[in-house]
Amino acid sequence: MNENILDYLIKGLVLFTAVPVHECAHAWVAEKMGDDTGRQQGRITLNPFAHLTLWGSLMMILVGFGWGKPVSVDPRNFKNPKKGMVLTSLAGPVSNFIMAFLAMIVYKVLAMLSGFDDSTTLGMVAWVFLYVMLINISLGVFNFLPIPPLDGSKIFNAILPEKWYFTIMRYEQFIFIGLIILLYSGLLDEPLYFLQGKVIDLMDILTIWVDYIMGFIMAGTAV
């Protein structure tokens, strides 16, 4: 299969899994914190069509960075509005990191079973999980940027004085357009790749137990 077609297919797979989990996590945590707006709007679901947007989906397919339909949140329903907003905003990126962590475990198992040969069926499936891991990490890192309307901005704004917060929100649309321009220009590539690399290193350390277990198993089968 043409590598470009396979690349788009995997990005589509991630789009229909990572984005729904990301947005559902926002709605679920918001409800736990006291705001059921997301549930009323049918957002506590893994149905991708409840969460996807046209432009966010196209960006995901074309450049590997995308977004879903924002989950509506009413901070007035939180017992502690700032804490509620921070935890609700954290839920999305954290869900991507959890998915990346699980994908790395599966990748390591399949890669070692295949002898790191991506020409085999197991090796090809391992490669898919590696790609899923990388895109989920890129989504998590991207959404942690403190730039409106990304999740990181909501976390950052929770500690800002209200006057500054409302000033930033007034220009949110223009800031977002600037973000898209930066993405297409490639100016964000280096800092994003640096942060993604650090997260990958951390994930590798957290899953090192898989290396030991699989190494033990593979050594036993080789005897």
Amino acid at 63: V
Q: Which domain holds residue 150?
A: 3-222
Q: Which residues of the chain have pLDDT under 50?
A: none
| Residue 68: strand pairing partners | 52
CA distance 27 to 37: 8
- Nearest to residue 201, comparing CAs of 106, 71, 109, 104? 104
SS3 content of the chain, % helix, strand, coil (to 5): 75, 0, 25
CA angle (138 as vertex; 132, 139 as ends), nearest 5 = 90
Number of domains in the chain: 1
**Catalytic one of 3, 23, 162, 172:** 23
Would you state the structure tokens that stand for residue 209, as one six-digit string? 């137990």
Render 182-216 in DSSP notation, one character per residue: HHHHTTTHHHHHHHHHHHHHHHHHHTHHHHHHHHH
pTM across the whole model: 0.87
DSSP element (H, E) containing 168:
helix 162-170
Show Cβ contacts of residue 139 under 8 Å, excluding neighbours closer than 6 positions: 14, 18, 19, 22, 65, 66, 93, 96
pLDDT at residue 31 in the model: 96
Name the packing angle between helices 54-63 and 3-15 (round to 10°): 140
pLDDT at residue 94 in the model: 96
Is 190 designated active site? Answer: no
pLDDT at residue 3 in the model: 65
pLDDT at residue 162 in the model: 66
Phi first, then psi: what are they for 68, rounded to 5°? Answer: -105, -175
Q: What is the DSSP letter of 48?
A: G
For 84-117, the pLDDT digits (tens) are: 989 999 999 999 999 999 999 999 999 999 998 8
